[in-house]
Structure 1
Amino acid sequence: MADQHGSGCKGIANHMIEARKNLWLLGTGPHARAYVKVLSEMATEYEVIGRSEISASEFSTLTGKNVLSRDLTQSLKRIGAPDYAIVSVSFDQLAQVSIELIHAGVKNLLIEKPGGLNLQEITAIHSAASIHKTKVYIGYNRRFYEAAIYARRQIAAEGGALSCHFEFTEWASTIEDWNVSLDIKNHLLIANSSHVIDLAFFLCGKPKNMQSYHSGEISWHTRSARFAGSGETETGALFSYIADWQAPGRWGVEVMTRENRYIFRPMEQLHKVKLGSVTLESVTLDDAMDREFKPGLFRQTQAFLKDEIANICSLEEQVRMITIYSKMAGYSNSL
């Protein structure tokens, strides 16, 4: 069965925003290319700053957008800091690049998740932002999926979440072959799995208390391989989670209300089971924007550039969440 809903996409052109001449996009990888498609549709003027000559050349070939400079420090000295910047570099460079931009005078910063790989990096960004009065946000684009927008609205209308369960199993055999630094792999729960965890707590409330357990190890993630825990959110919802990176599984979030169980599995789709039924119903959404662009990215970028930041993860929020992610994974809060 299908249930037709959605916030509606009445022509993407209606979502264009006033161009901001002082906008930089930092990075030339696949995710930065996804931002190019969004920014071009918005008719927003921007410059691209990259570092790798090979990546910059490939970026220009694929997007038709020239890379202004391959040296951030020199660009800041020569041109001056932009008003707005989107940081979409590799995970292990996010904090360093962001802090340099803040010190240079950028006042509005959107950093790709997770912003930093540990508490030390996130707090360093927070300290710099506090000194320079910079608004900093973390890009968890799954908050802006049409499925998430609809579910959050319905959960509120049904009296809020009663309980929540989520799974963030990663496929270890696939990740082993990723061409990323060992530091990223060794902080994978923060670098990647936090996508799932952030969405779960975005829908059912931030954790008030939590018991966490972890065991096992993988060659590239030596502190844990299996994860389980439970607790209560600030809204009174009970939650539980599990993940086993050495067994079959997939990402998923389930949120229960008095009327429905909302199921994100796969994460881009929404299903529900009504109270008194076991029938799994597909919720058909008007998700044209999520199909045209990287899901959630258009709305997230639009919210950042229009200063409509109610649903964007704030830096202050991420400072708190990093300690929770670290507890779940068995990481030290400083490493």
Structure 2
Amino acid sequence: MSHNINSNIVLLIGTGPMAVAYAKVLQGQKIDFQVVGRGVASAQTFYEETGKKPITGGLELFLENNDVSQFDSAIVATGTEVLLDCLRLLIQHSITKILIEKPAAVSIAELNKNKELFMSHAASIFVAYNRRFYASVLETERLIEADGGLEAMNFEFTEWTHKIDASKKVTAVLNNWFFANSTHVVDLAFFLAGKPVDWTAYSKKGNLEWHDKTVFSGAGITEKGVLFSYLSHWESAGRWGIELLTSKNKIYLKPLEGILVQPKGTITPQNHVFDDALDHEYKPGLYKQVDAFLSGNTSRFITIKEQLEMGLNVYSKMLA
């Protein structure tokens, strides 16, 4: 795939597993890029996995000591707790075409508190919910359209909290785990069905020490007229998943990377085969997401302003 970025270089911030995944995509698309990270150890691991040597010492130091006019765009792939700090530094140095890893801040409150920082550049700052670009999701949209549209949806974002080692996570990220992690599913669900407009949400406390609520349910109708419901219990059994109902089929994204189709009048969902080669070669959704970002084909993205609106109008209500 080719991109109109002339001789400009993409600035990739971060050297962890997510940054490695982005680097592999940029290499696959033959895009020139510079990597900036903080620690030496993760930089070494990054180099071993990609063959690309990062500059260490952190973003602030790098931006102060280098000519940043060569960078047309930036991809922020750091830990959740420093996403907004990196965004601030980039904007201060006039780099404003930015793809920032989800959810763009450690919390809804942090995003809201710093809205003045990004509002004037909001149209060119995109939040990287890569599941919007899954081959399974693109194929599901095609199936829904062929069936005459989406009628109803049910989804679940149960987190396997028994598998999360709280000692290895940043407290602020743990305390906001719904925003940091569960919105991967919630964002995708409402991307497919439209934003909720008339709805009721419930949540209740569980026994987790690090997250206020653990049981969530809700139902309503979206701007596209799709009826929806959700139920998730983080301390019970379950998994991430979305069920989409047309007048002809029930389509299961469970797991999100695959598709099962249950035709009307049948009881057994059938595996639906589709071309997902890119999602096996690279981290799922990432190749098409990067391609869309660099080519300016940004209609599938959520801007950082829209992310803040989702945070205040949807996610906050689900957590209340």
TM range (shorter): over 0.9
Give 2:64's match in structure 1, choosing from 54, 58, 77.
Answer: 77
Give 1:43's match in structure 2, choosing from 27, 30, 43.
Answer: 30
Distance 2:58 2:192 in 1: 40
Give 1:64's match in structure 2, choosing from 37, 47, 51.
Answer: 51
Give 1:52's match in structure 2, choosing from 11, 16, 39.
Answer: 39
Is 2:62 aligned against 1:86? Answer: no
Does the 8 Å CA contact 1:17/1:43 hold for their aligned counterparts? no
Letter of the 1:86 counterpart:
I
Secondary structure of 2:120's partner?
helix
Aligned-pair distance for 1:222?
3.7
Superposed, 1:307-326 pairs within 5 Å as 307-323=296-312, 324-326=314-316
- Cα RMSD of the aligned pairs, angstroms, is 1.7
Q: Under a length normalisation based on structure 2, what TM-score does the superposition of the two structures give?
A: 0.94
In structure 1, the residue matched to 2:183 is 194
Superposed, 1:248-263 pairs within 5 Å as 248-263=237-252
Note closer, same or farther for the CA distance 1:16–1:179 as it changes in structure 2 (3 Å cut). Answer: farther
Is 2:83 aligned against 1:115? Answer: no
Give CA-to-partner distance per residue, 1:48-79, whole Å, 9 cap, x none.
Answer: 01012221122112221111232312211222
Does the 8 Å CA contact 2:176/2:211 hold for their aligned counterparts? no
Aligned-pair distance for 1:239?
0.6
Letter of the 2:318 counterpart:
M
Give 1:34's match in structure 2, choosing from 1, 6, 21.
Answer: 21
> Unmatched 5+ residue regions in structure 2?
none
Secondary structure of 1:17's partner?
coil
Give 2:84's match in structure 1, choosing from 68, 82, 95.
Answer: 95
Aligned-pair distance for 1:229?
0.8
Give 1:235's match in structure 2, choosing from 199, 224, 248.
Answer: 224
Letter of the 2:3 counterpart:
I
Aligned-pair distance for 1:18?
5.0
Percent identical among aligned pairs is 35
Note closer, same or farther for the CA distance 1:133–1:238 as it changes in structure 2 (3 Å cut). Answer: closer
Give CA-to-partner distance per residue, 1:183-238, whole Å, 9 cap, x none.
Answer: 11111111011011111111111111221111123444341111111111001111
Does the 8 Å CA contact 2:174/2:211 hold for their aligned counterparts? no
Secondary structure of 2:221's partner?
strand
Aligned residues: 316
Distance 1:247 1:56 in 2: 38
In structure 2, the residue matched to 1:333 is none
Give CA-to-partner distance per residue, 1:113-161, whole Å, 9 cap, x none.
Answer: 1111223332355422333576100000011111100111222333321
Is 2:215 aligned against 1:226? Answer: yes
> Unmatched 5+ residue regions in structure 1?
1-14, 331-335
Aligned-pair distance for 1:178?
6.3
Q: Under a length normalisation based on structure 1, what TM-score does the superposition of the two structures give?
A: 0.90
